[in-house]
Structure 1
């Protein structure tokens, strides 16, 4: 069975830093899939104080992560990492279910769910 998500140690460290900076200690990291973007779907990541009955809960490297049951098939096997470069740092998301993505690098689609494309800015 494929693990729902994998959060790298670097990403977990950055998430914890952001939680502390924003006063969100004790919150969950919510990872979601939303409609939109050039290819039809976009990723969402943010802090949430609540876990819902329909959420799956994971704890990776000390970060509690919640994912809605509606998004688990789309996100199965996804790897979230954080990378630093001379241009700054940012999260990267590698989803083995994504069959296409756009030039923006922020939207995707899967074989089972295409979403509703919107124009890229």
Structure 2
């Protein structure tokens, strides 16, 4: 369903190790909004819902809510170290439109009217 590069998995595990909350996992999802229609969400969580899909990617627990799963099928997450900090990148084969920052996308099935201005 979701692919995460070795570099991104290592970075996420490193970040998880720095947290002082037990049983944390990576939650990946989407929500309406953003300049193209949907925005990606990625963060640590410790609460899992019954309808969540749970993945084990190289020993990293990744959780996706049921609604987001249909937009994230085939997504590839990577980590790019730019020397000034770096960050995570998301390549989504389902996206037909994306914004310049790469944090927002639209699929061919979704209405472009969901788009909202980007926040400053």
After TM superposition, is the score higher than 0.5? yes
Deviation of 1:104 (Å) = 2.6
1:118 partnered with 2:110:
no
3-state secondary structure, aligned to 1:6? strand
Given the alignment of the two structures, is residue 39 of structure 1 paired with residue 36 of structure 2, yes or no? yes
Of 15, 23, 33, the residue aligned with 2:12 is 15
Q: Which runs of 5+ in 1 are unaligned?
A: none
Could you say what the CA RMSD is over the residues aligned between the two structures, in angstroms?
1.4
Moved over 6 A (4+): none
Alignment TM-score, normalising by the size of structure 1: 0.90
**How many pairs are equivalent?**
118
Residues 53-107 of structure 1 show CA distances to partners (whole Å, capped at 9, x for unaligned) of 1111000011100101111111000001111113321001001000001123211
Is 1:30 matched with 2:43?
A: no
Q: What residue is the counterpart of 2:80 in the other structure? A: 83
Structure 2 portions without partners, runs of 5+: none
If the length of structure 2 is used for normalisation, what is the TM-score? 0.90
Q: Shift of the alpha carbon at 1:36?
A: 1.1
Cross-structure match for 2:45: 48
Corresponding residue for residue 96 of structure 2: 99
- Secondary structure at 1:31's aligned position in 2? strand
Indicate the structure with greater strand content.
1
Distance (whole Å) between structure 1 residues aligned to residue 56 and residue 21 of structure 2: 16
Alpha-carbon distance in structure 1 between the residues aligned to 2:50 and 2:64: 11
